[in-house]
Structure 1
């Protein structure tokens, strides 16, 4: 077997960029081959399930990154507002100040397949749960905490969509600034 010309990690990173930039439906095999530097036959060798398998692996990778990197400040013993500020800083970096489209949005259109939808759902559920846990620790009821978490994520995700459409990132920055208030039910500082 010939040696791989690109590591699995680099390959998934490049696939992530393609799916972020053009979405699932816009990611033709020619576009993917160009972005990865691999021939179509090599792509099918690495991903026998085709583009759906690629999307599933990208969604799983980003979900794992969110759990271990982006949301990690929520698991510390710091005060709740500081933990949320840490997540906001991570989101700011991850989404490059609001200029980086959200994979959750870009892979949710089109038929990325059951495995990709499952991985996207798991990532979203984890994000909601992590935010809701902070809201519950601040005294919110289970239902209110879930609603606060969903509202916070909608503010972030909606701002990312708006930024992609308008080229303006102000709403994204406001969503991150308001994150403690959205989750803790307090006034923004």
Structure 2
């Protein structure tokens, strides 16, 4: 058996970047061949169910990364809340490359892909909201205020990513992260 040209983690990361930049509907198998360096047959050998399976692996990769680097930090009651917030916002900044990268929620929320990945998107959004709600309660806010702040965080992140991309001004995203920190003062 020949050794793989690209390991699974690197392959998923490259597929993620393509889906993130072109959306599920916009990315072609040819795009995935180019980003991975693999031929169509090799891609289908590793992902027999094609682009849907590739995207599901990307969703799992993203969720795992965010769980480890963002959401678990946000919920970690062994750390001071200020440290949790600072570390979380820094991880978000890095994950989105200062607002340069598109969010997977956006990349998969167009009509065709949304119907395929609706359950995963809803679970992912609820996962984010729950982590921010827990953080808000740990910060001393009531459950209702914590829930509202969590929603505002998601609106700020998602909105800032879109506006920063369209305006070609990453500082919009950086400012949104500062505003999120101020929400919890």
Question: TM exceeds 0.5?
Answer: yes
Moved more, 75-84 or 150-159: 75-84
Q: Which runs of 5+ in 2 are unaligned?
A: none
Report the Cα offset of residue 139 of structure 1: 2.9
Aligned mates of 1:121, 1:10 — CA distance in 2: 26
Aligned mates of 2:90, 2:117 — CA distance in 1: 27
- Does 2:171 correspond to 1:170? yes
Count of residues in correspondence between the two structures: 184
* 8 Å Cα contact 1:55-1:112 kept in structure 2: no
Report the Cα offset of residue 64 of structure 1: 1.0
Aligned mates of 1:34, 1:49 — CA distance in 2: 19
Moved more, 171-180 or 77-86: 77-86
Q: Which residue of 1 aligns with 2:103?
A: 102
Report the Cα offset of residue 111 of structure 1: 2.9
Moved more, 97-106 or 75-84: 75-84
Q: Which runs of 5+ in 1 are unaligned?
A: none
Aligned mates of 1:141, 1:119 — CA distance in 2: 28
- Does 2:23 correspond to 1:23? yes
**TM-score (structure 1 length as normaliser):** 0.88
Aligned mates of 2:41, 2:115 — CA distance in 1: 23
Moved more, 115-124 or 165-174: 115-124
User: What is the RMSD computed on CA atoms of the aligned residues?
Assistant: 1.9
Aligned mates of 1:73, 1:50 — CA distance in 2: 34
Map 1:138-177 to 2 at 5 A.
138-177=139-178
**TM-score (structure 2 length as normaliser):** 0.90
Aligned mates of 1:3, 1:27 — CA distance in 2: 27
